[in-house]
Amino acid sequence: MVQMLEQKSRLTIKERMTKLNESLQGSQAWNSIFRPGSIFRKGYSDSPRNRSYVVMNSVLYHLHPVKVKRHAVKVSYTLCLGGLSFFLFILLTITGIFLMFFYRPTSANAWQDIQSLHTSVTFGLMVRNMHRWGAHLMVLSVFLHMARVFYHGAYKAPREFNWVIGVILLTLTLLLSFTGYLLPWDQLALWAVTVGTNMMGYSPVIGSQVRFVLLGGVEIGPETLLRWYVLHVLLFPFVTVIFLAIHFWRVRKDGGISGPL
């Protein structure tokens, strides 16, 4: 015992850490969590017989279909417009999170925060412009994607449900764009939203109620800014993610990308 204690005290800190690390790595918990096969459980089989089984049992492999039609991977067929729209959505999410660190949705701060973003925040102007241009481009690419789908007749059975999901995605894209437009709280934003909500006010039966709910009052003000901010950064992106998941799932379930013309 005395001998052991003496030996222990003679070990340097580095040696003790190495010993601790070795005993931890040999433990059952470590082995079950960091076992190489815990992520890719079945390995990746090269035999065509087992390939579907392997793919279906791994969530990571499952993101890709077991088989892809030859024309579906041709850029000239889809023009990758759906993929581009999705890429822009991800870009907008990342740049949007960056902007959230510097922007306060109150009438006293909003405009000033955008000015400081341009002048005092590292990469602030660049990220803001990436967000703004990305938003314009996303509206354009979603619209062109819809036109491509229409041109290929991919709205027909069995893809009619996915077309409807697409229409909802287009609406959400436009809503995200419109709610974001108010946030700089400048003259352009103020009057664009005044005109937009006035137009909504002319909808039959529930027009004035819808206008009241959207503005958070009878005219545009601080309540509108907060309301549209929450819709822009939380509700609409959240709903969009849900519909995107359904959209991609349907592309797979409807037999992948539609056939060539």
Region 98-157 residues binding ligand HEM, contact defined as CB under 6 A:
142, 145-146, 149, 152, 154-155
81 counts as binding ligand HEM under rule CB under 6 A:
yes
Region 222-251 residues binding ligand HEM, contact defined as CB under 6 A:
244, 247, 251
Measure the CA–CA gap between 33 and 51, rounded to whole angstroms.
Answer: 25
162 counts as binding ligand HEM under rule CB under 6 A:
yes
E strands in 117-167: none
Whether the Cβ atoms of residue 183 and residue 232 lie closer than 8 Å to each other: yes
Q: Is 142 exposed, middle or buried (0-12, 13-18, 19+ CB in 10 A)?
A: buried
Minimum CB distance to ligand HEM smaller for 43 or for 255? 255
92 counts as binding ligand HEM under rule CB under 6 A:
no
Min CB(63)–ligand HEM separation in Å:
12
DSSP tag of 232: I
95 counts as binding ligand HEM under rule CB under 6 A:
no
Residue with tokens 């994607």: 145
Helix, strand, or coil here: 256? coil
Min CB(203)–ligand HEM separation in Å:
22
Measure the CA–CA gap between 154 and 74, rounded to whole angstroms.
Answer: 16
Residues that bind ligand HEM (CB under 6 A): 78, 80-83, 85-86, 89, 142, 145-146, 149, 152, 154-155, 159, 162-163, 166-167, 169-170, 173, 244, 247, 251, 257-258
